[in-house]
Amino acid sequence: MSIWLPQITPRGMEVWNDPHRFLLCEGARKASKSISIENTILRHAVQWDGAEVCILTKYLKKGEQGAWRDLTRRRGIVDQWIRAGITEYTKPPSYAMASKMPYFRLKTRDGGESEVQLHSLENDDEVEEKFKDTRFSLICLVEADGFKSRIVFDAMRQQLRSMAVPHAHLKMILDTNPPEEGTDHWMHPLFFHNPNPQFGRIHFAIEDNTFLSEEEKLDLWDTYKDDPALLDRYYYGLWKKASVNSIFADVFSPGVHIIGDEIPGRISEDMDALDDMEILRPWLQAYLYDTGWDLGDRSSVAVIGCPRYLQDTLVFDILDEVAVIGDRIGLDEFVAQFVAKMNYWERWMAEQNGVKRPMWRSWSDSSSLRHRMNLRGTEAMLVRNLSGNRINLIGSEKGAGSVAMRKNLLRRLLYENRIFISPLCKNVIAMLRGLQASKSQPVDPESDYKHAFDALTYLLASAMPMELNQQRLGINSGSVRHARMLA
């Protein structure tokens, strides 16, 4: 091939030259894994006539926004190779007529042709049926931690059976950040403790990306600093298992319940910058926002949710939050931050749904309605005044057993996939990952996660009163006829 080399890091050159048939590229985010793998894919496609490359992702849309976009966008990786005179499109990026599969074809160094395809596999168990008649010369599992069963690896390795590429050059590359299962994930024993010489592993640390600025490193750290488990996995690249003691560990599935792109810390503070991000939004018939509040002396959290109907079932989308944990902040500043969020989401609904004045309902601990001498009134009155009469806190029902009831309600909504969370809600997500019970209470009252739990469950319990009543009676239903109290 030409002596031209793409711009990749020294660690990326290890991927470029790696001889193993099965290669795991693992480590921190933004550590240059993806661009290293994508350039290696292009090298294979240009080198071999008749090469067929399969890029396999769990969800097609996410794959199109990730690796596929890196390859095919203007000034992307393929364009860099074309401008260098190494290759050219023989078939520009397109979709197969029958299957709607994204693909493109390239001219090889010898004047032949190769093909790169993007596939998706939402259900691991369907891998053999879907790929049994395929032949590939290179397979890349993108975000391989999302495939929870080793059956995907075992089935796909059998498809490395190209008749055009020499057997010694058939290859499978797995791309992953450390999974939430830690060392319990099937990839760990397969690649960390496997004496088979066909298996190799390359670890990427954040320092390995020589193109990443100090500001970008700091921003990555800032994104995950409030969640130690995610910080270990995504910033430090450690294979640490997420806490199994969380009271929601068995019902909370990040891949299902978190909807949207990861949001860098600096973007989450610039609301207008969110317009171009793929995040959870109000549904097209939405007219109402519900908010939940937990105000304290040193920690306060408020969340914004939007109810919608999925077929005949009431679900909640949790869109945004304002959170201050362990740091004194004036109530006036906290309310001002929340009003800025309100302004953004009102604008969004007006532009997308045509609803110029959406309804707002705000739920809080009933103690916020009690008169306080130092406030010369109630906390709710002060919030209303500071927000220009836009936020009117309503007391959430409390009493014996109410914390357990709210915990069980949230567990049931997670189990039934009736609550979805935006990546903007970092404290809510951290709570779902880390909140534990205490020896005597269903939720640890001393936990920093308790504030996000209270804010969220005040909202859910108050906005879905029939659900709570059904729970008391042992009835399990989320149907519209039991939820019309929203109207």
The DSSP result for 270-322, as a single string, is: -GGGGGGS-B----TT--EEEEEEE--SS-EEEEEEEEEEETTEEEEEEEEEE
- In 330-414, beta strands by DSSP E: 359-365, 371-372, 377-378, 393-396
Give the range among 40-44, 54-58, 322-326, 365-369 with minimum mean pLDDT. Answer: 365-369
At residue 244 the predicted structure's pLDDT band, cuts being 50, 70 and 90, is: low
Instruction: Compute the distance between CA of residue 368 and CA of residue 440 in angstroms, rounded to an integer.
Output: 26
**Average pLDDT score over residue span 408-426:** 93
Q: Are 242 and 433 in contact (CB under 8 A)?
A: yes
Say which CATH topology domain 10-208 has. Rossmann fold (3.40.50)
108 pLDDT higher than 90? yes
pLDDT at 288: 94
pLDDT at 33: 96
**Average pLDDT score over residue span 156-165:** 96
Picking from 193, 192, 153, 168, the residue whose alpha carbon sits closest to that of residue 19 is 168
- In 189-251, beta strands by DSSP E: 199-204
**Dihedral sign for Cα atoms in the order 136, 137, 139, 140:** negative
Picking from 156, 142, 170, the residue whose alpha carbon sits closest to that of residue 50 is 170
Instruction: Compute the distance between CA of residue 100 and CA of residue 89 in angstroms, rounded to an integer.
Output: 19
Q: Are 444 and 249 in contact (CB under 8 A)?
A: no
Instruction: Compute the distance between CA of residue 242 and CA of residue 84 in angstroms, rounded to an integer.
Output: 44
Q: Which two tokens stand for residue 441?
A: 């209470």
469 pLDDT higher than 90? no
Picking from 268, 320, 339, 264, the residue whose alpha carbon sits closest to that of residue 456 is 320
Average pLDDT, the chain: 88
Q: Are 395 and 451 in contact (CB under 8 A)?
A: no
Q: Are 39 and 115 in contact (CB under 8 A)?
A: no
454 pLDDT higher than 60? yes
Task: Give the bridge partners for 317, in sequence order.
Answer: 306, 420
Q: Are 465 and 483 in contact (CB under 8 A)?
A: no
pLDDT at 307: 94
Instruction: Compute the distance between CA of residue 242 and CA of residue 432 in angstroms, rounded to an integer.
Output: 11
Calculate the dihedral angle through the C-alpha atoms of 372, 378, 382, 388, rounding to the nearest 10 degrees: -160
Q: Which two tokens stand for residue 475?
A: 């009835």
What is the total residue count of the chain? Answer: 487
At residue 223 the predicted structure's pLDDT band, cuts being 50, 70 and 90, is: confident
Instruction: Compute the distance between CA of residue 133 and CA of residue 376 in angstroms, rounded to an integer.
Output: 75
**What is the assigned CATH class of domain 254-486?**
alpha beta
pLDDT at 228: 77
Domain ranges of the chain: 10-208, 254-486
31 pLDDT higher than 80? yes
Write the CB contacts of 279 (distance below 8 Å, at least 6 apart in sequence): 259, 260, 261, 263, 422, 423, 424
Amino acid at 418: R
At residue 371 the predicted structure's pLDDT band, cuts being 50, 70 and 90, is: low
